[in-house]
Amino acid sequence: MLAGSSWELYSAADFPQLPPVVEDGETFRENAVKKALLVAGILKEWTLADDSGLEVDALNGAPGVFSARFAGEPGNDKKNNEKLLRLLADIPLEQRTARFRCALALASPEGEVWTTERTCEGLIAPAPRGDQGFGYDPLFYLPELGVTMAELPEEKKNEISHRGKAMKDLLAHLKTIAPDCVD
């Protein structure tokens, strides 16, 4: 999503010496800020961190910040989706309102932080559809498009998703602090 910038980009995987960050914040924003500040402090580099997940209204906002480990095993998308469907089994589609939420935090080496948080509204489908994306994408139904997130091509998903909208905010911010680095 940062194609077109002149930034030299790395991921956390490029720095195996980084300690794991315990995501113990009560909000996505708290977790993103914690990750960005920790890594920026260690590497003395600008750092962008994301914390994202799913909020289902019929479940009082769950899985929320526990989205990745909703079924108890971190990163087990299949079990997370199965648990979500079990919990919503008796809930009619029109009452399965939900949103994906993305919080981005950009931290400077000096500890300054800029954040943005965006959402994408939808419904939880009764069964998975599509094979694009990851996580809850096969269950996240977009009524206005008649598809799940997992049925969208990556370009369209990046245009309308919570993460895509947050990245647009980030690019606008980067243009104000480093205009020569973003087209």
pLDDT at 3: 66
Tell me the average pLDDT across 88-95: 96
- pLDDT tens per residue across span 56-84: 999 999 999 999 999 998 889 999 999 99
CA distances from 73 to 50, 66, 159 (A): 20, 10, 30
Per-residue model confidence (pLDDT) at position 61: 97
| Residue bearing tokens 């480990």 | 69
Q: Which two tokens stand for residue 164?
A: 């895509």
User: Among residues of the chain, what percentage have pLDDT more than 90?
Assistant: 80
> What is residue 89's predicted lDDT score, i.e. its pLDDT?
97
Contacts of residue 33, defined as CB under 8 A and 6 or more positions apart, other chains included, come to 25, 49, 105, 107, 113, 115
Average pLDDT for the chain? 93
Domain annotation for the chain: domains and CATH numbers? 12-181 (3.90.950.10)
Token code pair at residue 79: 């079990």
The pLDDT of residue 105 is above 70 = yes
- Convert the pLDDT of each residue in 3-12 to its tens digit: 666 778 888 8
Structure tokens at 112: 């300054």
pLDDT at 5: 66
Q: Which tokens sit at 82?
A: 């199965």
Whether pLDDT at 125 is above 80? yes
Q: Is 90 a catalytic residue?
A: no
- Output the pTM of the full model: 0.92
**8-state DSSP, 120:** E
* Residue tagged active-site, from 24, 50, 51, 90: 51
Residue-level pLDDT at 129: 96
Which amino acid, one-letter code, is at 31? N
Asked if the model's pLDDT at residue 95 lies above 70, the reply is yes
Mean pLDDT of 157-168: 93
Residue 163: its pLDDT value, please?
A: 93
At 83, the amino acid letter reads: K
**CA–CA separation, 129 vs 122, rounded Å?**
14
d(CA 22, CA 123): 30
Please, which pLDDT band fits residue 93 given cuts at 50, 70 and 90? very high
Beta bridge partners of 100: 54, 120
